[in-house]
Structure 1
Amino acid sequence: MKRDHAIKPPADFFGPHGVMRRRLSRPTLTRAMRDWVNSDGLIWLHLLKTVTAGLLALGMAMLLDLPQPRIAMTTVFVLMQPFSGMVLAKSFYRILGTAVGTMAALVLGGLFVQQPELYMLGMIVWVSACIAAAVRYRHFRWYGFVLAGYTAALIGIPNVMAPQGLFVAALTRAAEVAVGILCSSAVSALLLPRRSSLALRRTLEIRYANFTAFAVDVLARGLKRNQFERRFADFVDEIAGFEATRTFVAFEDSAMRSRGAHLARLNSEFMDACARLHALHQLLKRLRASHAALILAAIGPCFDELGALLEVHRGAGADVSRVVEDLGLFRANLPRRIRETRRPLEAASAEALSDFDTAAELLYRFVGEWVNYSETYASLWRRAESQQQSVRRGQNPQKAHRMNKPESRTNHFVLLFTFLRSAVVIGIAGSFWIATDWPSGGLAVIGATLVCALTSAAPSATRMAIQMAVGAVFATLTGYVFICYVYPGIDGFPLLCTVLAPVLALGAFIATRRGAAGYGIGFSVFFCLLAGPDNVGSYVPDLLINNGIALTASMLLAGLVFAVVFPADMRWLVERILGDLRARAISACKDRLPGLNRRFQSSTHDLTSQLRMLLTHRSRRRRDALRWMLATIEIGHAVIDLRNEATRADYAEVLQPHWRGGLERVCDELARLFEHPGPHALESALVAVRSATWLAQDILQAVHADRGRRHDLQRILSCLHFIRSALLDKDAPFNPR
């Protein structure tokens, strides 16, 4: 039987002892190293900086002979962030929060000397109010309010029955926190700093590329409804979180502070582009559902050409200046192409012509918004051009920043809900402490305060509290090992750092894992609080276990209250926020026009982001909330366009005396529909839109010879037709079908 001959590898494929080796070129190694540095390497850098800052804070606090150096180390683990700008921002607000909390502890201690019941009541009100304010003022301001409440409890509760030591405790605690802030800021800024401005630039580049890909998919008409909703919702989350990113970048880079107005305008124009693309997608979906093959075949080549143009520039390294140039040329030629395409359709039905005109108008508006966004994005990193662009638009930087600053709205019932939830958890822990005189009861109250504060901005407060409880259990067990077996054998600070570093790095690493951050936070923070070394060591294992039980019990108590008594997705609470969301459409119909589009867009996206945090993933209520958001953006944006176009067409009222009343009736009926959704309100809105459409068609006949006025009326008719198609959409949340 004949044997096959194997192919021999080249001679240099073997090592000196005949062992095969793979030849790696220098570019391959360089690329692999770059990929590692930009992924896992960043995690290891964060761990190195966190552990270094924690041990440095511990050493400085010991050197200064502060009574509890572990508080300084705990501060580092609460503060440390991947980017230096984030650490500086959190440090700034932490200093303010610590100062206010210290003053509150002194005031409450002076008012309720040796009156634990009244003192505890005052502390509950103060801490709960601070946590509610943190929910109202989000991002890094959230941290300042949280610290104002938590610091007051941390200082005042251990000294409630010993007021003579309250002032000294406040000073030493402030000093320990200040050491932690100083060390975390210094290490983050000096040891291989990661600049937030570079990360922001990369984030904006990725967002631009992702949105380009999203637009290509929409224009290709290949996205299903759930795919579109999911990807659009991701952009909503990015819009809502952009203001926080811009804030901490301003703390790090003075040049970025000067570009604050430019960044705000960039986000505002991105919201406009998203809204236009959504409207375009909705119209294409309805045209396909109504089998409007004639219209799709007529307008399709324009969509295909735009999609092909964007496809060429798809990717993270696109030349945005070239995109602006190509889109500008496409936009300049679009009206002529639309006129040529429309002539053969003039014999079609009025409904088909309205569909074509609306699709063409939406396409033209989307390209315009995309050009504006691309121009702003391209000039973002060129300061002189950025200032020239602001001047061309007639805005000084300060005024532009105020005009484009996003609006954030938090329902008053959400604030009341947060206040009551925190008050119940802290009140139960405090009442049990006072009733039983439990030695570790004060620490249980501090733990309850901490978990209420840290979970106030978490998407799932219950899961976060349970994860922190598990982290506290492992922190107690690890602390027991250190107190009984490790610390007694330590001689000198270098050896202490050597044994602490792996444990601290483990907690920091777990805290970076998505979905498991609560375990890492609970382990790191509570290990430092329970078993962190002090200048005067205390090797009392039973006290450690008792304190660990107190912290774990407070976390479990919070998780139970969050899940059973105050679940975040309570129907009445969600309905309140949905009511605020629908009220944005009412404001689009009723509020004054100057700046209305910006206010409408930013507040709508902010409320949607709040709803997405409250509702669980892949739930029916989450999908319903998202559809209300899409309907609100769709109709609200169209109404604003309608009102703007009607204001410019000031001659319409002269030609048709009932025009102004018909337009006001449209706005009134749409506002009534969003205020009280139902079949009757929907029918009234459709009747009002139909009546206004007939009036606009009468005016169009009167001004048909005037090209400029004819185009004005055609844009108004496109807005009305789009609103009507949105009201008739079978997927709309207010449509009973």
Structure 2
Amino acid sequence: MKPDHAIEPSSDFFGPRGVMRRRLGRAKLNRVLRDWASSDGLTWLHLLKTVTAGLLALGIAMLLDLQQPRIAMTTVFVLMQPFSGMVLAKSFYRILGTAGGTAAALVLGGLFAQQPELYMLGMIAWVSACIAAAVRYRHFRWYGFVLAGYTAALIGIPNVTTPEGLFLAALARAAEVAVGIVCSSAVSALLLPQRSSLALRRNLQIRYADFTAFAVDVLARGLERHQFERRFADFVDEIAGFEATRTFVAFEDPAMRSRSAHLARLNSEFMDACARLHALNQLLKRLRASGAVSILAAIGPYLDELGALFEAQAPVEADVEASHAAADLRLFRANLPRRVRETRRPLEAASAESLADFDTAAELLYRFVGEWMNYSQTYASLWRKSESRQQSLRRGSSPKKSDCTSRPISHTNHFAVLFTFLRSAVVIGIAGAFWIATNWPSGGLAVIGATLVCALTSTAPSATRMAMQMAIGAVLATLTGYVFMCYVYPNIDGFPLLCAALAPVLALGAFIATRRGAAGFGIGFSVFFCLLAGPDNVVSYAPDLLINNGIALTASMLLAAVAFAVVFPADMRWLIDRIMGDLRAQTVSACKEALPGLNRRFQAGTHDLTSQLRVLLTRRSRRRRDALRWMLATIEVGHAVIDLRNEAARADYADILQPRWRSMIEHTCDDLARLFERPGPGSLERALVTVRSATWLAQDLLRTVHAERDRRHDLQRILSCLHFIRSALLDKDAPFNRR
């Protein structure tokens, strides 16, 4: 028996079981490697590319014998992004901003030569205006405006007292920045490029799967109020960032640029689907709260069936599956009206209020299925250009219309822009006044630091925290720079050793900058280490100047942090109230603006303003929750008003049957607009009375045309819109019902 036992392990290793275990082990190892490559591996790749581009820019600038090669290296660390499309987009706007800032520095130097006070006032006005414009236009245009201001300060401030060298300094800075732009773009695009289009496709798949799971939870059992708001807010943030993603993808891939209008329509349809699901959830929540058991039992089978369809299609990993999902939804939607009529017949003996609840729930369900079906079709055809074109023609969208929908819609409050201008002018003005009054040798660098922190924190969620992090980063950069200047640079010889010494430090700063919640430390350390202690062709061993410059940069960061926290906090109540007023004004627009294109303008504007509020307000604060609830109420009522106006415009025969009909609809829209302009018990009561009167009038018209099927269905849809608006106004959780 012993020989058999001795042979058994060997035969098991080389036999079928051993082969199977080895295959399973390799599959597990491959899966672990893929997971690492798609998570931490991307971070390490980003660090490798960033350090490579920075050292390459430094070497080329030295080879070209530029005045300050460290500016080229600094440019890389300001510019580098994980995806090549992001770097190309930032590079494009950085070139425009650099050109504009260079021209501004030359113009101001020519106008105010030997007049430092006037020159400083002009520079403050230019830089503050650029930062304010950056807040107004945002996305990658933000970066172009920021660079227009920062480049002007970088060129002009050191040459205030020596205007004769301004032109040569402008040319030198432009050349150094250009080297950094070229190196970062080339390394990002050529060294293991990470395509934004692939990341976009993956994000779209994740969004589809997440929303499908969200819809299943809403349809199956409903969600608690806070759970629904939290998950819905995540979709709001994703929608708001989609336009920026679409912008830099267009820079990377010509094929994606040709699909820009298609992507815009995809995002618009996703907003519509979110709004429909929110409306359906709100009505179901109210039915559960009121104990409408019979109505919930009648509509329940349709919700369960739709939930099962959604569960069958999640997760969607292929475009073909989305196409199949759209086909299933199309069949469900086609049979829904007939089945709803059969379910409604036993309920006709119920009260008018219960019938209205059932009709409204069925109508919202029908509209939600239609919106998600459209989104699924667009998603499935996104990567197939020919089918995308056929779909556009099938929906009747001309190329001109598609071009219009591809333009992003942004809303920025004018007071927020003015606030940014004043905040930047005060911070930079204090630093400049102190420099001129004391003739501090490093005062110019303090002004440049103040300009940089005002620019980089202009759209940060917490400007004070980021400024403090950058100040700490500047301190660490000063200490590290002192070590390099005193102990590292004197003991190395040659560019390869220089790269070996710099690489760990630069990689550390880039790594910290990728960490959520600690980006300010990494930005401050990387940028200021390059500015303070980055090597030039002829290294100046002046530790005292390094420390003085480090103190100047740190002081400017602390000055900005104090000003942001005490004098100009971004979450001041009057500023938030102004933006909240703009958010509520979206419902006013839904009530009064022309109908063509109104739905997209309303949805895009509402989500854009909400994303701005969520950036300004502290996480998990009561004001942040209030802003989200106003956004939900705005979408709920505004969308219903647009539906009401569209249905009323189609039912033009109502003017013949009842002369007061059109004026009643206009009166209803006016009172709803007044409620959102000036929320209060009086305006709420007036809106409720008007909506109720319009409902009675529509019911009278319904009895008049009861024998005409098409007209009856039109008026039933109008009644559903009115009933839903009334239930939204009566909702005890609505923000205008809070006491």
For 1:241, the equivalent position in structure 2 comes to 241
Match of residue 528 from structure 2:
526
State the Cα distance separating 1:26 from its structure 2 match.
1.1
User: Structure 1 length as normaliser, TM-score?
Assistant: 0.97
> Which aligned pairs between 1:115-264 and structure 2 lie closer than 5 A?
115-264=115-264
Give, as a single letter, the amino acid of the residue that structure 2 aligns with 1:139.
Answer: H
2:448 aligned residue (446, 459, 473): 446
Write the distance in 2 (CA, Å) between the matches of 1:489 and 1:338: 84
Given that 1:589 and 1:667 are in contact with CA atoms closer than 8 Å, whether structure 2 keeps it comes out as yes
User: What's the secondary structure of 2:517's corresponding residue?
Assistant: coil
2:3 equivalent in structure 1: none
| Matched residue SS, 1:25 | helix
Matched-pair contact (CA < 8 Å) for 1:408–1:603: yes
* Distance apart, 1:653 and its partner CA: 1.4
The CA distance in 1 between the partners of 2:618 and 2:632, in whole Å, is: 18
What is the one-letter code of the residue matched to 2:332?
F
Q: Distance in 2 between matches of 1:709 and 1:399?
A: 30
> Contact 2:295–2:354 (CA<8 Å) still a contact in 1?
yes
> Are 1:705 and 2:707 an aligned pair?
yes
Give yes or no for contact 1:628–1:733 (8 Å, CA) kept in 2: yes
Identity %: 82
Q: Do the aligned residues in 1 keep the contact of 2:273 with 2:368 (CA within 8 Å)? A: yes
How many Å apart are 1:736 and its aligned residue? 3.6
Any residues of structure 2 matched to 1:236-635 within 5 Å, and which?
236-317=236-317, 319-635=321-637
Partner of 1:19: none
Cα distance per residue 1:433-472 (max 9 Å; x no partner): 0111111000000000000000001111111100000100
Deviation at 1:13, TM superposition (A): 14
SS in 2 for 1:188: helix
- Deviations 1:661-707 (Å, cap 9, x if unpaired)? 11111001001101111001000000000000000000000111111
State how far apart, in whole Å, the 2-side matches of 1:172 and 1:14 are.
Answer: 72
Q: Deviations over 1:323-351 (max 9, x none)?
A: 01111111011111101111110110000
2:94 aligned residue: 94
Q: Distance in 1 between matches of 2:220 and 2:108?
A: 64
Q: Deviations over 1:230-259 (max 9, x none)?
A: 111111111111110000000010001110
Aligned 8 A contact 1:426 1:448 in 2:
yes
Structure-1 separation of matches of 2:379 and 2:738: 42
| Local SS of the residue matching 2:735 | coil
Letter in 2 for 1:282: Q
Q: Which amino acid is 2:621 matched to? A: S
Partners of 1:712 and 1:615 in 2: how far apart?
A: 43
How far does residue 114 in structure 1 lie from its aligned partner after superposition?
A: 1.2
User: Residue 86 of structure 1 contacts residue 248 of structure 1 at CA under 8 Å; is this kept in 2?
Assistant: yes
Letter in 1 for 2:28: T
Secondary structure of residue in 1 paired with 2:272? helix
Is structure 2 residue 655 aligned with structure 1 residue 653? yes
Report what 1:4 is aligned to.
Answer: none
Distance (whole Å) between structure 1 residues aligned to residue 492 and residue 168 of structure 2: 30
Q: Does the 8 Å CA contact 1:469/1:551 hold for their aligned counterparts?
A: yes
Work out the CA distance in 2 between the residues paired with 1:185 and 1:458.
25
Note the C-alpha offset of 1:169. Answer: 0.2
Deviating beyond 4 angstroms after TM superposition, the runs of 4 or more aligned structure 1 residues are 10-15
**Structure-2 change in CA distance of 1:320 and 1:451 (3 Å):** same
Any conservation in 2 of the 1:679–1:736 contact (CA below 8 Å)?
A: no
* Partner SS, residue 406 of structure 1: coil
Q: SS at 1:734's partner residue?
A: helix
Q: Per-residue deviation at 1:11?
A: 5.3
Equivalents in 1 of 2:391, 2:302: separation in Å?
30
Contact 2:222 2:285 in 1 (8 A): no
CA distance in 2 between counterparts of 1:485 and 1:36 reads 37
Deviation at 1:395, TM superposition (A): 2.6
- For the pair 1:40 / 2:40, whether they are aligned, the reply is yes
Q: 1:95-122 CA deviation, whole Å, 9 max, x = no partner? A: 0000000000000001111111111100
Q: Which amino acid aligns with 1:505?
A: A
Q: After superposition, give the CA deviation of every residue in 1:541-573 in whole Å (9 maximum; x if it has no partner).
A: 010000000000000100000000000000000
Uncovered stretches (5+) of structure 1, i.e. residues with no partner: 1-7, 16-21
* Conservation of the 8 A alpha-carbon contact between 2:222 and 2:281: no
Mean Cα displacement is larger for which, 214-223 or 565-574? 214-223
Unaligned runs of 5+ in 2: 1-5, 14-20
Tell me, what secondary structure is at the counterpart of 2:642? helix
> TM-score when scaled to structure 2?
0.97
Tell me the distance in 2 between the aligned counterparts of 1:157 and 1:442.
6
Provide the C-alpha distance between the structure 2 equivalents of 1:483 and 1:497, rounded to a whole number of angstroms.
Answer: 15
Q: Give 1:407 shift.
A: 1.3
* Alignment length (residue pairs): 723
CA drift of 1:406 comes to 3.3
Measured in 1, the distance between the counterparts of 2:88 and 2:405 equals 27
How much does 1:312 deviate? 1.0
Residue in structure 1 matched with residue 720 of structure 2 by the alignment? 718
Aligned residue number for residue 16 of structure 2 = none
1:156 aligned counterpart, secondary structure: helix
Task: Output the CA distance in 2 between the equivalents of 1:399 and 1:106.
Answer: 43
Task: Give the CA deviation at 1:388.
Answer: 1.2
